[in-house]
Structure 1
Amino acid sequence: MTSTALDHAADPVSASNAPLALQITDLQSWYGESHILHNVNLNVRRGEVVTLLGRNGAGRTTTLRSIMGLVGTRKGSIKIDGRETIDLATHKIAHFGVGYCPEERGIFSSLSAEENLLLPPFVSKNDRGMSIDEIYEMFPNLKERRNSQGTRLSGGEQQMLAVARILRTGARLLLLDEISEGLAPVIVQALARMILALKAKGYTIVMVEQNFRFAAPLADRFYVMEHGQIVESFEAGQLDAKMSTLNELLGV
């Protein structure tokens, strides 16, 4: 990551007094008969960047999928801007202003980059999302490749397109799953700048990340998951003091 990104991330806009954008209480989730999440408790304030850390299989992706109602069974409480969503269908949850960028990206390969951007509906009555021009300003690579089919985009360009597509919908709570995975360092740096730009615009972001070097300078707070439970939580200012614990839990 560039020193510029690190410098900006070191002095984030405080969201400590902001209202809760997401409040998860005693969440349990199942895929069929497999009990994956066990009483997960997690809070995210409006305007925060929060990262879920953990080894593969710890339950981080399932947490994001549970927020969106994409698991078999959910119990507990998931409130978005104070409104309970645990019993709602996925499309209704999206209309609370939630955008989910899954690890597999879900780009339509037969459509051009710009057609992919124009496809999603708006999910918020109050926010019409970023315009195409705003998207291209944030992602100049996509402007250059706007007429290219999804299959012709690089992995990094596909990842940018996947994030840009949810920004078009008007979502203000972004759930990002492993967006830096397998990408070249120059693309990872571009994604870091994107996260900082979105934070400056007031977006709320929950990231699942295996790349600790990418996540560490960006997040306001961290949660560590193990075996479907939250085992540690701390703020960015405590990161140095928690490194020995993280080494033990994650092998950082």
Structure 2
Amino acid sequence: MNAAALDRAATGDAAAAPADAALAIDDLHAWYGESHVLHGVSLHVRPGETVCLLGRNGAGRTTTLRAVMGLTGRRSGSIRVAGKDVIGLPRHRIAALGVGYCPEERGIFASLSTRENLLLPPKLDTGFSGLDEDEIHRLFPNLRERARSPGSRLSGGEQQMLALARILRTGARLLLLDEISEGLAPVIVQALGRAMRELRNKGYSILLVEQNFRFSARLADRFYVMERGRIVLELEQAQLQQHRDELQALLGV
């Protein structure tokens, strides 16, 4: 990114999305009731790219993911999934386009077994088959070992694996992942990192919200930094070290 592009990013005017973007958000505003939370957010994710949305708590990162899925209140601007504007669509129609949202709370059903949780969401007619059970178990061996265990008996890390695995089975190709490493043991975080790299190699497009900078720095191709509901910085992977002081100021890393 050249200096002019950095100036645009700093004022919220991010580089234009390519025509084939898996996800393109342009001038997005979002409200919860009367509270104006997002202020002109623009970002994009290319096909097969992992993009990380960084920022302090309350910066608007989770709200951005929720806005894509239609889970906020009033919205304005443009949200396009594979070229289709989705801002006026109901949530189930957005998901049917191949968008998988993994929220921070995971949503594992305690009364169902691990395998029942895995098989619960229906397959999507997206033209992309997703991962079958064997592929999922190769990615997350713990889930094979705990297949009959109730969801309530899984560790936090196993629940996170299961929440992600459910989405992968459906055929979703664009993944919106919210704080998937939060509060997990280092060995689980490492396993999730390996899985994320494999998913990128398989062609998944990923928008990742993360507080764990060390985790995301090893995974993402590009980074957006949010502050007070705005994009204030956009960086390529190769620019992280060069802009370490800016990141330190914005994130406290």
Structure 1 length-normalised TM:
0.92
Residue of structure 2 in register with 1:228 after alignment: 229
Q: What RMSD over aligned residues (CA atoms) do the two structures have, in Å? A: 1.2
**Conserved 8 A contact 1:178-1:210:** yes
Task: Look up the equivalent residue of 1:164 and give its one-letter code.
Answer: A
How many angstroms apart in 2 are the aligned matches of 1:144 and 1:21? 34
Partner of 2:72: 71
**Where in structure 1 are there 5+ consecutive unaligned residues?**
1-15
Q: Percent identity?
A: 66
Q: Following the alignment from structure 1 to structure 2, what is the Cα–Cα distance between the partners of residues 44 and 32?
A: 28
TM-score by length of 2: 0.92
User: Measured at CA, do residues 215 and 48 of structure 1 come closer, stay the same or move farther in structure 2, by a change above 3 Å?
Assistant: same
> Hey, what does 1:113 align to over in structure 2?
114
Runs of 4+ residues over 3 Å off in structure 1: none
The Cα shift of 1:17 comes to 8.2
Question: 2:51 aligned with 1:54, yes or no?
Answer: no
Aligned residue for 1:245?
246
| Offset, 1:182 | 0.2
Which residue of 1 is the match for residue 90 of structure 2?
A: 89
Whole-Å Cα distance in 2 between the matches of residues 53 and 24 of structure 1? 16
- Say whether the 8 Å CA contact 1:127–1:170 is kept in structure 2: yes
Residues in 1 aligned to 2:90 and 2:47: alpha-carbon distance in whole angstroms: 23
1:135 aligns with 2:147: no
Counterpart residue type for residue 173 of structure 2: R
User: Which ranges of structure 2 fall in alignment gaps of 5 or more residues?
Assistant: 1-16
Aligned partner of 2:210 in structure 1 is 209
Could you tell me how far apart the structure 1 residues matched to 2:126 and 2:204 are? 16
List per-residue Cα deviations over 1:16-55 (Å, max 9, x = no partner): 9892101100000011111100000001100000000000
Counterpart position of 1:44? 45
Instruction: Quote the Cα distance in structure 1 between the aligned partners of 2:25 and 2:138.
Output: 34
For residues 95 and 155 of structure 2, the distance between their equivalents in structure 1, rounded to whole angstroms, comes to 28
Q: Are the aligned partners of 1:18 and 1:45 in contact in 2 as well (CA < 8 Å)?
A: no
Q: Which residue of 2 aligns with 1:160?
A: 161
Contact 1:49 1:206 in 2 (8 A): yes
How many angstroms apart in 1 are the aligned matches of 2:19 and 2:197? 18
Name 1:10's counterpart in structure 2.
none
C-alpha change, 1:171 and 1:161, in structure 2 (3 Å) is same
Once residues 203 and 153 of structure 1 are traced to their aligned partners in structure 2, the CA distance between those partners, rounded to angstroms, is 26
**Residue aligning to 1:103:** 104
2:8 matched residue in structure 1: none
Q: Does the 8 Å CA contact 2:19/2:83 hold for their aligned counterparts?
A: no
Looking at structure 1, the residues matched to 130 and 206 of structure 2 have their Cα atoms a distance apart, in angstroms, of 15
Cα distance in structure 2, aligned partners of 1:111 and 1:22: 33
> What is the letter of the counterpart of residue 179 of structure 2?
E
